Amino acid sequence: MLFCIVIASTFFNIFLLNFVNCDGIFYLQRVPSSCVQTTVTMTEDNTTTTNCFIFSWQQIADLTTIYTTYQDPTTNQTFYARIAALTVLGTIDNHDLDYHCPPSGYNGVAPGCSTPNNTHLVVLHINALDNKLYSINVILSGTPFPSLSSLVNNQPPFGTARHVFDGGISSQSTGYLKICKRNSSTQCPNTNTSAHALPYPLPSNTGYGIFGIKMYNFVTNSVWIMDDVNQILICTAGTTYYYFNSTGFFIYDYSSNTCTWSPACNYQCEVYNYNSRFLDYAGEWVITKKWGVGDVKPVAAQAWIGNAIDAAGIFPVILYTDNATGHYIGLDKLDPIPMSNMGASYWYTAHDDTIVGESVLKYHPNVVDVGCVSQLSDWTGPISDGEMIMTSKDIRLILWATFFLYFFVA
Ligand SMILES: *[C@@H]1O[C@H](CO)[C@@H](O)[C@H](O)[C@H]1NC(C)=O
Ligand SMILES: *[C@@H]1O[C@H](CO)[C@@H](O)[C@H](O)[C@H]1NC(C)=O
Ligand SMILES: *[C@@H]1O[C@H](CO)[C@@H](O)[C@H](O)[C@H]1NC(C)=O
Ligand SMILES: *[C@@H]1O[C@H](CO)[C@@H](O)[C@H](O)[C@H]1NC(C)=O
Ligand SMILES: *[C@@H]1O[C@H](CO)[C@@H](O)[C@H](O)[C@H]1NC(C)=O
Ligand SMILES: *[C@@H]1O[C@H](CO)[C@@H](O)[C@H](O)[C@H]1NC(C)=O
Ligand SMILES: *[C@@H]1O[C@H](CO)[C@@H](O)[C@H](O)[C@H]1NC(C)=O
């Protein structure tokens, strides 16, 4: 199904233009009637016309960033998931996909998010072998932001839109990629997203891995301990520690040695927002490479694309869950401002079930170690007991605890 034709043509003997015509489809994953066939053209002209989107190849070349490389298990083809905020002009069937930040306070969102006009937040799937662009997910912001209580799983306005290109499009370094509606269609993949529900809440799990920001070439440790029974979450990024309970969270910053309490977002606000109100299923990906992680043993994951809106602001994300256990194993975050090397990534190379009431209590530095409270129970409240049996898992936890304490006292 390779419909791409390359035509070189001369216009008035002035411009030599390369038109690459290609077929594709476009749809909003949550709106079955939105499916249209598209015609894809390479052009030097960025004038918008009705029912077309225009991307700049230069921006695609300059502004996209790769945190994740994956293999599609149905075809064994390897793709780079290139994330970006791009300037994209136009609409199709009045679907304006520009990203708008939600107002401060929406689902606990912190102030500070802003996006330039005509910006799409995208994940581009580029084949590692032929360097062709096969599809694009566009993250929808949900504007005009209905009340949270009226949001329904897998229903608009959040979720994603998708462009799929038959046979792929060869990447260019200049000019524009113009995607125009050709005809309404019913050929888009089954959009029954309820067949792929993101576990809600995610199963209690514990992960050890990295947090990295490509722009700063910065990679540090990250820990994620989620105990849903006790409504406790410990999440760290290097020397910043977040301790959530059911009423709020402590944030401890090692460099300033300060611990601050905030009731603005609690355990549920932080963890329960990873759900199908905001995220769409994007398929099974076998992750073969992560930026910031030396060697990745291939991991079968399910990928979810959309928004996470929580204590730290709004995070357009690709979220990963382990295909076998459902554990949360990481996310790639997009920044809403066009720039090179955007985003950040969490990836848990080791993960396991959380031992209820035990994994949290064994973690150091805890809220007492860093001086947030004088007794652990001031933060945990009454905690449901786990059985205290030493396993190899516990020994690993203790080793990590020692590692962190070393840094803490050093
Ligand atoms: C469109 O093309 C014009 C002329 O080449 C250029 O000045 C302008 O910045 C372009 N606009 C976008 C949004 O790419
Ligand atoms: C993908 O690779 C696996 C393992 O090498 C193989 O069993 C399978 O047939 C391959 N699938 C395709 C579509 O090539
Ligand atoms: C962005 O769009 C708004 C509304 O259309 C317009 O008022 C504003 O001038 C635009 N800003 C820029 C920088 O183009
Ligand atoms: C558009 O779709 C309709 C219904 O499927 C079909 O009859 C018509 O020929 C199509 N037109 C084009 C230009 O493909
Ligand atoms: C969608 O998937 C769910 C879960 O697998 C199933 O119960 C439901 O019947 C499906 N709906 C349609 C319209 O196929
Ligand atoms: C993911 O899990 C499903 C259900 O257990 C299984 O059928 C499938 O083969 C798994 N995918 C991969 C890539 O391991
Ligand atoms: C959560 O921690 C805060 C601060 O220590 C405390 O005031 C609150 O009572 C704790 N919540 C529960 C349910 O224990």
DSSP 21-72: EEEEEEEETTEEEEEEEEEEEEES-----TTEEEEEHHHHHHH-EEEEEEE-
73 Cα–ligand 2 center, Å: 8
- Supply 193's token pair: 């997203």
Q: Which ligand is nearest to the CA of 299?
A: 6
74 Cα–ligand 5 center, Å: 22
> For the chain, what's the residue count?
410
Q: What is the pLDDT along the chain (410 residues), one digit of tens a residue?
A: 333 433 333 333 334 344 556 799 999 999 989 999 999 999 999 999 999 999 999 999 999 999 999 999 999 999 999 999 999 999 999 999 999 998 888 887 778 888 999 999 999 999 999 999 999 999 999 899 999 899 999 999 999 999 999 999 999 999 999 999 999 998 888 666 667 889 999 999 999 999 999 999 999 999 999 999 999 999 999 999 999 999 999 999 999 999 999 998 899 988 998 999 999 999 999 999 999 999 999 999 999 999 988 766 678 999 999 999 999 999 999 999 999 999 999 999 999 999 999 999 999 999 999 999 999 999 999 998 754 434 444 444 444 444 443 333 33
State which ligand 6 atom lies nearest to the alpha carbon of 286.
Answer: 13
DSSP 384-409: --------HHHHHHHHHHHHHHHHHH
Q: What is the DSSP pairing of strand 15-28 with strand 5-11?
A: antiparallel
3-state secondary structure 228-284: CCCCEEEEEECCEEEEECCCCEEEEECCCCEEEEECCCCHHHHHCCCCCCCEEEEEE
Whether residue 298 is preceded by a cis peptide bond, meaning omega within 30 degrees of 0, is no
Kindly report the protein residue whose alpha carbon is nearest to atom 2 of ligand 1.
46
Ligand 2 within 6 A of CB of 75: yes
282 Cα–ligand 5 center, Å: 17
Which of 70, 76, 286 is the pocket-test mutation for ligand 2 (most atoms within 8 Å of CB)? 76
Kindly report the protein residue whose alpha carbon is nearest to atom 1 of ligand 6.
323
State which ligand 7 atom lies nearest to the alpha carbon of 261.
Answer: 4
d(CA 250, CA 267): 11
Q: Where are the domains of the chain?
A: 5-189, 205-409
Q: Which ligand is nearest to the CA of 380?
A: 7
Which of 46, 49, 58, 86 is the pocket-test mutation for ligand 1 (most atoms within 8 Å of CB)? 46
Q: What is the DSSP letter of 231?
A: T
Kindly report the protein residue whose alpha carbon is nearest to atom 7 of ligand 5.
195
d(CA 200, CA 194): 12
286 Cα–ligand 6 center, Å: 10
The reported pTM is 0.89
Ligand 6 within 6 A of CB of 323: yes
State which ligand 1 atom lies nearest to the alpha carbon of 89.
Answer: 13
d(CA 351, CA 203): 12
The binding-site residues of ligand 1, defined as CB within 6 angstroms of any ligand atom, are 46, 56, 87, 89
d(CA 72, CA 146): 35
Which of 153, 155, 194 is the pocket-test mutation for ligand 5 (most atoms within 8 Å of CB)? 194
d(CA 79, CA 210): 22
In CATH terms, the superfamily for domain 205-409 is Lipoprotein localisation LolA/LolB/LppX (2.50.20.10)
Ligand 6 within 6 A of CB of 201: no
